[in-house]
Amino acid sequence: MVVVALGSLVLEWAWISYDRVDTIPFSQFEQLVAAGRVAEVTVESDTIQGKVKDKLSSGNSFFMTARVDPALAEKLIAKGVVVRGVPSGGLSQTILLWGLPALMFYLVWNFMSRRLDGGQSLGGFMAIGKSRAKVYVEKDIKVTFVDVAGVDEAKFELQEVVSFLKAPKSYGRLGAHVPKGILLVGPPGTGKTLLARAVAGEAGVAFFSISGSEFVEMFVGVGAARVRDLFEQARKAAPCIIFIDELDALGRNRTPGAFGGYDEKEQTLNQLLAELDGFDPRVGVILLAATNRPEILDPALLRAGRFDRQVLVDRPDKNGRVAILKVHIRKIRVSKGVDLDRIASLTTGFTGADIANLINEAAIAATRRNADEVGFDDFTVAIERIVAGIEKKSRVLSKEERRRVAYHEMGHALVAASLPGVDPVQKVSIIPRGVGALGYTMQRPTEDRFLLSASELRNRIAVLMGGRTSERLIYDGDVSTGAADDLQRATEIAVEMVTKYGMDTKVGQRTYAPRPQAFLPAMQDTLVGAAEATGREIDLAVRELIEAGDVCARQILEKRRADLEAGVALLIAQESLTAEQFAPLRSPGAAVGNQAAA
């Protein structure tokens, strides 16, 4: 559209100024008439435009002069000049010269303003303070509590909201009122947004959905205006639900001395606080919000009377994962022999989004092998892809590299099979996967764990050290770079044992780690309140824990050297082994492990 408008303006300018016109005095015009050189003229109210039969002194054929003599027409006709006239003040000419450019500029401005407004047809710049919430009416919401599984406690908490929206008078017969704001907190992918939509679907009310980042713009005051507009729309549509996703983008803790963009965020947050104080929950407007960073929210936002209730939407337990599998498995064709309970055991720590992705990856794997149904092996392949990464078939290892990788991975597997409290080995492979893994040992817990003892953490360090220890044992101390990730993870566990859990007697039972975030991994590595001498003690304690894990792994592998050699030979021949295919991987060896770990 912009190109068309500019092209029209250029053509109009070219049409008007196609030929150059000389302005001449009226006396010269009379001389041209007397000489019989004028071919034709156009007489207007104040001017005369015409064309000569030959060329003027300037080389042009067209001329223009002021109209002076009213009896000029008779003279022109007497000389055989063609005379034309134009009505004075022509409306069509005025529209063409002034109206068309104005219209073109308006169309260009309107087009650009809509593009900058995001294509939401809100009137361009004039509607910049309007709320950008997506409104879903009752018939648009197809999600109910039946579609949400694995979060039974959260659904029970939100059932009160549904009851209030359906029957507000009977619900408040004893004077109670529903909380003004309900904050859904939990890790990413646990279904907070889905749960909010299910509340609206169950209650059968309108649903206003918006992200916290959509309130903040480069113009000061826009965010506050959008908050006001959102609540005004919600009051008109009551009963309804307002859902603000990623509330931390809007309600971050206010800091003193902020300026610029932070000042805009503070104004937006202040307006939200004012709206929460000003509206009456009895009108049927419920505010739901979701975040995975509740620790950074402003305290004024979380006080009683604003967000009165926090509902935890946590990772599902085993029963919850089975329920989520049943919900998502309806969308694919599954073999009758698939054991959902076994799949749930292999997916400890998965969120609802992870399980949905697992179902999709399993269906893709079955489709890739031209199967009619999705079997258990397809789920195993999907778990491997999610946990370990995609197979790198193009990465070809040399014979010696394959042998070293086989010893490394079998070292991990045998140490894991020999220690108590360690996740059982599901599969060992020397097929490269992911970004840099040349092989992998997949361990999956069979039950949910909420506490870990100090001995179990030491055993985990020993398992991580098993790969390098195996290389040192076989290659006479000549280790490779393959243990880089193992050393990183072992160090993280040892540091947390010393600085976070107080599990070292020399350093003491106090914490030196920063306060962890609730649902996201901590980004800060500095020690809190540790003197220089204490920092040295922490370093020594971490080193001792890792060295003790190495000693434990060496004792196990020396005692099980025959299993190590047999496992490596079989692994090189088959590239992948499961615990069912190689019996030593299922050997408990608890007594040896306890003595070595101690």
| Residues 125-174: tens digit of each pLDDT | 444 545 555 655 555 677 888 888 888 888 888 888 888 877 777 766 67
Are residues 189 and 58 part of one domain?
no
- Domain boundary at 258, 290, 312, which? 312
The pLDDT confidence band at residue 219, using thresholds 50, 70 and 90, is low
Q: Tell me how crowded residue 351 is: count the other CB atoms within 10 A of its CB.
A: 22
Are residues 159 and 24 part of one domain?
no
Domain assignment of residue 394, yes or no: no
The pLDDT confidence band at residue 595, using thresholds 50, 70 and 90, is very low
Q: What per-residue confidence (pLDDT) applies to 68?
A: 56
Domain assignment of residue 498, yes or no: yes
Are residues 373 and 246 part of one domain?
no
Domain assignment of residue 393, yes or no: no
Torsion angle in degrees (nearest 10) through CA of 209, 213, 219, 224: 50
- Domain boundary at 289, 312, 335, which? 312
Q: What per-residue confidence (pLDDT) applies to 201?
A: 85
- Domain boundary at 312, 337, 368, which? 312
Are residues 592 and 456 part of one domain?
yes
Q: What per-residue confidence (pLDDT) applies to 282?
A: 67
Residue 596 pLDDT > 50: no
Cα–chain center distance at 282: 35
Q: How far apart are CA 316 and CA 502, in angstroms?
A: 29
Name all contacts of 152-161 with Cβ < 8 Å and 24+ positions apart: 152/320, 153/312, 154/184, 154/195, 154/311, 154/312, 154/313, 155/195, 155/198, 157/182, 157/309, 157/311, 158/182, 158/195, 158/199, 158/311, 161/199, 161/203, 161/241, 161/286, 161/288
Are residues 305 and 326 part of one domain?
no
Are residues 564 and 507 part of one domain?
yes
Q: Which structure tokens are listed for 445? A: 């817990």
The pLDDT confidence band at residue 518, using thresholds 50, 70 and 90, is low
pLDDT over 90, % of the chain:
21
For residues 407-415, give the mean pLDDT.
94
Are residues 466 and 495 part of one domain?
yes
Q: Are 496 and 436 in contact (CB under 8 A)?
A: no
Q: Which of 42-46, 209-213, 473-477, 588-592 has the lowest mean pLDDT?
A: 588-592
Q: Which of 131-145, 227-241, 436-450 has the lowest mean pLDDT?
A: 131-145
Domain assignment of residue 262, yes or no: yes
Q: What per-residue confidence (pLDDT) applies to 122?
A: 43
Q: What per-residue confidence (pLDDT) applies to 20?
A: 62
Q: Which of 6-10, 162-166, 214-218, 492-496 has the lowest mean pLDDT?
A: 6-10
Q: What per-residue confidence (pLDDT) applies to 91?
A: 54
For residues 186-213, give the mean pLDDT.
86
Residue 470 pLDDT > 70: yes
Quick: pLDDT tens for 337-395: 888 988 988 888 889 999 999 999 999 999 998 999 999 989 988 988 888 777 776 67
CATH number of the domain to which 192 belongs: 3.40.50.300
Which of 406, 571, 391 shows the shortest CA–CA distance to 475? 406
The residue type at 517: Q
Which of 183, 179, 153 shows the shortest CA–CA distance to 294? 183
CATH number of the domain to which 80 belongs: 3.30.720.210
The pLDDT confidence band at residue 407, using thresholds 50, 70 and 90, is very high
Q: How far apart are CA 230 and CA 210, in angstroms?
A: 9
Q: Which of 75-79, 306-310, 439-443 has the lowest mean pLDDT?
A: 75-79
Burial letters for 99-133: b for 16+ Cβ neighbours within 10 Å, e otherwise? eeeeebeeebeeeebbeebeeeebebeeebbbbbb
C-alpha dihedral sign at 120, 126, 132, 138: negative
Are residues 548 and 403 part of one domain?
yes
- Domain tally for the chain? 5
In three-state secondary structure terms, 527 is coil
Name every residue whose Cβ is closer than 8 Å to that of residue 402 and which is 6 or more positions away in sequence. Answer: 430, 572
- Partnered with residue 135 across adjacent β-strands are 208
Are residues 382 and 249 part of one domain?
no
Q: What per-residue confidence (pLDDT) applies to 97?
A: 62
Residue 545 pLDDT > 90: yes
Give the containing element (helix H, strand E) for 319.
Answer: helix 318-328
Residue 115 pLDDT > 80: no
Which of 307, 259, 268, 257 shows the shortest CA–CA distance to 286? 307
Task: Find which of 208-212, 387-391, 512-516 is predicted with most confidence, using mean pLDDT.
Answer: 208-212
Across the chain, mean pLDDT equals 79
Residue 544 pLDDT > 90: yes
Are residues 250 and 352 part of one domain?
no
Q: Are 369 and 382 in contact (CB under 8 A)?
A: no
Domain assignment of residue 22, yes or no: yes
Domain assignment of residue 149, yes or no: yes
For residues 516-524, give the mean pLDDT.
59
Domain assignment of residue 334, yes or no: yes
Name all contacts of 22-31 with Cβ < 8 Å and 24+ positions apart: 22/56, 22/58, 22/60, 22/62, 22/63, 22/64, 23/63, 23/64, 23/65, 24/56, 24/63, 24/64, 24/65, 25/65, 26/65, 26/66, 26/67, 26/68, 26/69, 28/65, 29/63, 29/65, 30/69
Higher-confidence position of 328 and 594: 328
Q: What per-residue confidence (pLDDT) applies to 437?
A: 76
Domain assignment of residue 392, yes or no: no
Q: What per-residue confidence (pLDDT) applies to 184?
A: 92
For residues 88-101, give the mean pLDDT.
60
By residue range, what is the domain housing residue 405? 399-597
Are residues 188 and 56 part of one domain?
no
Q: What per-residue confidence (pLDDT) applies to 591?
A: 35
In three-state secondary structure terms, 339 is coil
Higher-confidence position of 255 and 489: 489
Are residues 159 and 244 part of one domain?
yes
Q: How far apart are CA 323 and CA 150, in angstroms?
A: 6
Q: What per-residue confidence (pLDDT) applies to 135?
A: 59
Please give the positions annotated as active site.
Answer: 409
Residue 257 pLDDT > 60: no
The pLDDT confidence band at residue 408, using thresholds 50, 70 and 90, is very high
The pLDDT confidence band at residue 457, using thresholds 50, 70 and 90, is very high
Residue 74 pLDDT > 80: no
